[in-house]
Structure 1
Amino acid sequence: MITLLVILGIVVVLIAMAVGYKNKFVVLDNSVKNAWSQIDVQLENRFNLIPNFVETVKGYAKHEKETFDGIARARSNFKNATTPEAKMEANNQLSGFLGRLFAVSEAYPELKANTSFENLQNQLVELENKIRFARQFYNDTVTEYNQNIQMFPASIFAGIFNYRLAELFKADDIARVTPQVRF
């Protein structure tokens, strides 16, 4: 009888642990999804602002076709992306081309004096700051999630419930390259 009570006690404890960990994983997973949606909203705003910015610059820097085409490709890739990873990649591509575009604008004083350009540039800078903050929050949330599903004994339950590591938002090689302006 005591053996049966001990076994029953162990089963109850394991079930309670499983329920506790499952609930914790759900909360953490939802936090990661929420953090990603904050980035997604800001990236969408950024990608929607880009065509106006590009059109303003095109009038002054007609020879920057490669940059304009790259921005259009990155925007298209973002619109067609179905996963956070694909959207991160499109964002990184756009960041590289925007860096070039900002560098090009430095060579055109009359463009920098254009109020439409200045307004669009200020909006982009503000969005970039929001995106940076959202990325930091997302990476902090993902780190907490990943740590929780990797630590013992939570890792056992994470495997049972099929929770996998989430990917951090990282800059890629394009975003790390310093833009070069050639005339």
Structure 2
Amino acid sequence: MSKEFLIIIIIVVIIVIYCIMAYNTLVKLKNRVKTNWAQIDVVLKRRADLIPNLVETVKGYASHEKETLENAIKARNTYVNAGTLQDQLVASNELNQALSRLMMLSEAYPDLKANVNFIELQKELTVTEDKITYARQFYNDSVNKYINKTEVFPSVIIAKLFGFKPFAYFEIQEVDKEVPKVKF
């Protein structure tokens, strides 16, 4: 065997080893994103399960707030039935807005604020919202690592070659970014 041929074989072996390692890294990062989304999904499902109880508690105090209650249930059902990750992200944002409007009803009904069931459900939702925040941070971090790996050279070649698709960040909608108006 000639020296040049041996060098070519070594270079090819190094490239193949790099390609295998890059592919495996991309698969691991993709799976981490999916796992972190599953964690968000678990917590969002928990929140969605709390909403019917909250609505039933509020119903007794705010029966004429039918539209707000129906919108909360509708948003919850939309989330539960969302099929794709993108649909779940959109439905989650709708659920956030409906839940905010539902929680604001307590301001109009002082008796509701004092209701033990409402207070407990409010505490559960607060804990759940904190968990969602942390899960969202982990998810977005894993999406960032995955996107970085699929966009930097030379792993971008492997990503394109094997069809690694980007994931969406879990972002809040523009309406949620607005500063709330407080009136005294």
TM-score of the superposition, structure 2-length normalised? 0.92
CA deviation profile, 1:67-120 (whole Å, cap 9, x unmatched): 112112211111211112111111100110111111111111110000011001
1:24-173 equivalence runs, <5 A: 24-173=25-174
CA deviation profile, 1:44-89 (whole Å, cap 9, x unmatched): 1010110000110111112222211211221111121111211111
Structure 1: where are the runs of 5+ without partners? none
Aligned residues: 180
Distance 2:3 2:41 in 1: 56
RMSD over aligned Cα atoms: 1.6
| Cα separation, partners in 2 of 1:178 and 1:97, compared to 1, 3 Å | farther
Distance 2:34 2:146 in 1: 11
Question: 1:173 offset after TM fit, Å?
Answer: 3.8
Does the CA contact (< 8 Å) of 2:79 and 2:95 recur in 1?
no
Distance 1:65 1:3 in 2: 81
Does the CA contact (< 8 Å) of 2:72 and 2:102 recur in 1?
no
Distance 1:90 1:173 in 2: 15
Distance 1:109 1:57 in 2: 12
Distance 1:175 1:94 in 2: 12
SS of residue paired to 1:169: coil
Distance 2:12 2:19 in 1: 10
Runs of 4+ in 1 over 3 A off after TM superposition: 173-180
Question: 1:7 offset after TM fit, Å?
Answer: 2.1
Distance 1:106 1:177 in 2: 20
SS of residue paired to 2:61: coil
Establish whether residue 9 from structure 1 lines up as the match of residue 15 from structure 2. no
Percent identity (aligned): 43
Structure 2: where are the runs of 5+ without partners? none
Does the CA contact (< 8 Å) of 2:39 and 2:135 recur in 1?
yes
Question: 1:177 offset after TM fit, Å?
Answer: 5.9
TM-score of the superposition, structure 1-length normalised? 0.92
Question: 1:2 offset after TM fit, Å?
Answer: 2.7
